[in-house]
Structure 1
Amino acid sequence: MNTTDPAGEGSISSFPARVIVGLGGLYVTQSVIGGVVFTGLPAVMRQNGASLNDIAFILLTVLPWSFKFLWAPWVERYRSPRVGLRRSRTVIGLVGACAVGAVIACALIGPTSLGPLMVAMMIASFSSATLDIACDGHAVESLTEKNHGWANSAQVGGAYIGAAIGGGLFLVLIDHLGWTPSALIMAGVLVALALPFLTTPDGARSARPDAPRQSLMAALKRPEILSGIALISLYVLGQKWSSVLISPFLIDAGLSLTAIGVLNGVGVTVAGLIGAVSGGYVVRRFGAFPVMAASMAAQVLATVGFALYAYFGARSPIALVLLGLLSSGAISLGIVAVYSELMGRASLDQAGVDFTLFQSMDGIVSLIGWWLVSSFGDTLGFAFCFAACALLGIVALGALPILARRSSTLPGKADQRA
């Protein structure tokens, strides 16, 4: 794939370090917002007396991540036109400003005004999801194939660092400074993280002026995309549904916001980064599907552990920390494996659209599960919900070999990467 300006100017692949640093900052930025919504805000709401039903309501703000495939083709057509200069920096700057403004609005609204807070978080989530579309497309276009591994490392590593800031540091700051100053600090962090990208050259022309028009229909007509959608759905079913319960459960178990913040910001991040870094090696060594199976099995063990802890009413912070670390490491290892498999299914002509479709299905299935366990959590209890999630994980683990066999028969799954 030619990643330089055909006219000989504005070559971005000549500066891979600057591009990767800029992309890394953007991936961290998106995950800071996600960490605030998925981890930080549920813990703060629970401490303020919110029910799990209220937490399920606020989680509707992840809808833009679930349905961003609907506007991905339009974003990509504007950002990377077939003729003329790319507009990655323009898209990131404008959409990023909306995200920062939404976080500032959250700071002024406060965590107890559920309706206005949800509107502001929805804007932040929409902006973050749109940033991810542009960021993924820019990464594929701007780096040579030998540097794609660095982009994947920036994406996975950035996700855990951002989650550590949004779900860890944010909670520690709230415990000491309160909601408004802490949320304003998060807005400042977002600006600082985006600066490396916004100061990176963005003048390369389209590598293929004759490339087909990006569209969802082009993706959905390919069997490797449909099989990939089934795969990511199964992965989420086996890995992610219990994750939304962990922060509220830790609050009910007696941990402070500072303790949860340190766990999320240090322990979970380290475990996640270890899983992400080691994942690249073990996937090359053993293949994606065996690693996915191992990570699902580890997640089932962690979820069973949470269920037993809740059922017997244990009081062991060390056990909670170990279970949280096991869950985080398993999820990160699985993410590397499943997206390594999906990478070979995306067309280079519309990588931003194809990857967005996979990520949206990830978000849709996650949202369904998070809403279910949160809605029924108050009635059925943590022990039942964790146990139900573990059972679903076992079902997914049993179905994984079927998808593995079907995927091995797909014709030309990576033909477009030759």
Structure 2
Amino acid sequence: MFRLIFSPRMLVSFLMGFSCGVPLLLTLSVLQAWMREEGVDLSVIGLFSLVGLPYTLKFLWSPILDRFTLPLFGRRRGWLLLFQILLMAAIAGLGMTRPAVHPWMVAVAALLVTFFSASQDIVVDAFRREDLSDNELGLGSSLYVNGYRVGMLVAGSGGLILADHFTFHQVYLFMALCLLPGVLTTLLCREPEVAEGTPTTFREAVVQPFVEYFQRDGALLILLFILLYKIGDQMASTMTTPFYLDVGFTKTQIGAVAKLFGFWATIIGGLVGGVILLRLGIVRSLWIFGILQAVSTAGFSLLAFLGPSLAGLAAVIGFENLTGGMGTAAYVAYMASLTNKKFTATQYALLSSLMGIPRVLASAPTGFMADSMGWAFYFFFCALIAVPGLLLLRFAGPLAAGTQ
């Protein structure tokens, strides 16, 4: 087991995850802080959330990446190297813009960052599915997720800390250089071998992935499971910060415990989840982690009764982030196991886009719900709403290849 955990392929999964995690917050919290510092109107800052659309729509151009192979480095590594270089240039270019003077130029540069970042995600997800065997997929997915979170921490927290000592232009240039480990990983790793072959026509690349998927038994049931498995966890996490403040915790306590302590709990959860996935397989792990996620969500209801107890906050946050990290690792591995290796990029891009729908739609009414229900009952409801997803797992789990 230790030989597998510390194998080159697992290191590649982690480093590629890091490379995918760095760009995300550079067009969200870091960019928002820069624009606010420059005096940009809040309404304009709010509209900038639309530059994240490529992450949701990435399935639209993923067939191109399945169909065509660039002249150098192979189908996956060739596209990946191209997008990483373009992404570094786009991040550096975003850092050269002037938000207060030309916000439209900032929007164009940020849109280029998200487009190349989403394209990198497509190729990395396909690479991981094709490079790892079915029994390695769970552990590899957990290491990818952990690498992604470390990349987000470096860009989000690290970027804001650096901005207190350097200009935002310099911060964005430094963040562009943080993608160099990903470039080196692409150059040094091997190109995955795909025995299933590749699409030979553009029509086959665009149409066949959807035809192949929806011809499967239980295809719609699986999609419904993907929508519902983490919906309770996502609804709860949307309202945690207002909850902490209402209970009586200070912003310093929230930052220290909920953010930093919670981050490391999530990392540990991902690692532990990866080992359990290796032992038990994806479906059994989904059962265990799903139940633990629901129990940890109910823990917020208990905290509502305890009040501003720092020990209670640490316990609830630690357990919730631990189980959340485990559940995400199994969830990502499950989606990867659903893909046909001939159409990996397109099918995984579609499924991962679908994964984001509950985070947007189900989270929209959470403020009204919490206000009308009260915090204790709201989080108990979030725990209960996880049950339909678990019930669907009884039918959806055995339908995916390589999940046992």
Alpha-carbon offset, residue 226 of structure 1: 2.6
The number of equivalent residue pairs is 385
Q: Look up the equivalent residue of 1:108 and give its one-letter code.
A: M
Could you tell me how far apart the structure 2 residues matched to 1:125 and 1:322 are? Answer: 36
Q: Look up the equivalent residue of 2:50 and give its one-letter code.
A: L
Q: Look up the equivalent residue of 1:358 and give its one-letter code.
A: L
Confirm or deny: 8 A CA contact 1:69 1:360 kept in the other structure.
yes
Partner of 2:360: 367
How do 1:110-189 and structure 2 match up within 5 A?
Answer: 115-145=104-134, 147-189=136-178
Alpha-carbon offset, residue 129 of structure 1: 1.5
Structure 1: runs of 5 or more not aligned? 1-15
Partner of 2:223: 229
Matched, 1:107 2:95: yes
Matched, 1:280 2:269: no
Could you tell me how far apart the structure 2 residues matched to 1:49 and 1:289 are? Answer: 49
Deviation per CA, 1:191-245: give whole Å up to 9, x if none: 333222223344x665344878442332233244432321221134212245466
Alpha-carbon offset, residue 74 of structure 1: 1.8
Confirm or deny: 8 A CA contact 1:169 1:261 kept in the other structure.
no
How do 1:301-340 and structure 2 match up within 5 A?
Answer: 301-302=299-300, 325-340=318-333
Could you tell me how far apart the structure 2 residues matched to 1:268 and 1:342 are? Answer: 25
Task: Pick from 68, 73, 94 the counterpart of residue 78 of structure 1.
Answer: 68
Alpha-carbon offset, residue 291 of structure 1: 1.6
Confirm or deny: 8 A CA contact 1:107 1:181 kept in the other structure.
yes
Q: 1:245 to 1:160 in 2, by over 3 A?
A: same
Alpha-carbon offset, residue 180 of structure 1: 2.5
Alpha-carbon offset, residue 413 of structure 1: 3.4
Could you tell me how far apart the structure 1 residues matched to 2:228 and 2:388 are? Answer: 8
Deviation per CA, 1:105-154: give whole Å up to 9, x if none: 33223666755434322221221111121112222333444543452233
How do 1:248-397 and structure 2 match up within 5 A?
Answer: 255=251, 260=255, 264=259, 266-282=260-276, 284-285=279-280, 287-302=285-300, 325-369=318-362, 372=364, 387=375, 390=379, 393-397=382-386
Alpha-carbon offset, residue 317 of structure 1: 7.7
Q: 1:333 to 1:91 in 2, by over 3 A?
A: same
Q: Relative to structure 2, which stretch is displaced further, 274-283 or 86-95?
A: 274-283
Matched, 1:31 2:21: yes
How do 1:169-248 and structure 2 match up within 5 A?
Answer: 169-202=158-191, 206-209=194-197, 213-214=204-205, 215-241=209-235, 243=237
Confirm or deny: 8 A CA contact 2:293 2:320 kept in the other structure.
no
Q: Aligned residues: percent identity?
A: 21
Deviation per CA, 1:266-321: give whole Å up to 9, x if none: 5333111111122234555554123213213313534885x889xx9x6x888766
Could you tell me how far apart the structure 2 residues matched to 1:226 and 1:396 are? Answer: 20
Q: 1:49 to 1:210 in 2, by over 3 A?
A: closer
Q: 1:328 to 1:93 in 2, by over 3 A?
A: same
Q: 1:205 to 1:348 in 2, by over 3 A?
A: closer
Could you tell me how far apart the structure 1 residues matched to 2:43 and 2:372 are? Answer: 16
Alpha-carbon offset, residue 398 of structure 1: 3.1
Alpha-carbon offset, residue 60 of structure 1: 2.5
Deviation per CA, 1:148-193: give whole Å up to 9, x if none: 3452233122122112212222222123334332222111112333
Q: Look up the equivalent residue of 1:125 and give its one-letter code.
A: T
Could you tell me how far apart the structure 2 residues matched to 1:58 and 1:218 are? Answer: 37
Q: 1:224 to 1:40 in 2, by over 3 A?
A: farther
Could you tell me how far apart the structure 2 residues matched to 1:47 and 1:251 are? Answer: 25
Alpha-carbon offset, residue 343 of structure 1: 4.1
Could you tell me how far apart the structure 2 residues matched to 1:385 and 1:114 are? Answer: 41
Partner of 2:391: 402
Confirm or deny: 8 A CA contact 1:31 1:163 kept in the other structure.
yes
Output the TM-score relative to the length of structure 1: 0.74
Output the TM-score relative to the length of structure 2: 0.76
Confirm or deny: 8 A CA contact 1:31 1:159 kept in the other structure.
yes
2:189 alignment partner, SS class: coil
Confirm or deny: 8 A CA contact 2:54 2:115 kept in the other structure.
yes
Could you tell me how far apart the structure 1 residues matched to 2:231 and 2:87 are? Answer: 29
1:180 alignment partner, SS class: helix
Q: Look up the equivalent residue of 1:98 and give its one-letter code.
A: L
Could you tell me how far apart the structure 2 residues matched to 1:234 and 1:291 are? Answer: 14
Alpha-carbon offset, residue 22 of structure 1: 3.5
1:207 alignment partner, SS class: coil
Q: 1:287 to 1:208 in 2, by over 3 A?
A: closer
Alpha-carbon offset, residue 43 of structure 1: 6.3
Confirm or deny: 8 A CA contact 2:196 2:341 kept in the other structure.
no
Q: Look up the equivalent residue of 2:294 and give its one-letter code.
A: M
Q: Relative to structure 2, which stretch is displaced further, 182-191 or 294-303?
A: 294-303
Q: 1:90 to 1:280 in 2, by over 3 A?
A: closer
Matched, 1:64 2:18: no
Q: Look up the equivalent residue of 1:70 and give its one-letter code.
A: L
Alpha-carbon offset, residue 360 of structure 1: 0.7
Could you tell me how far apart the structure 1 residues matched to 2:214 and 2:142 are? Answer: 28
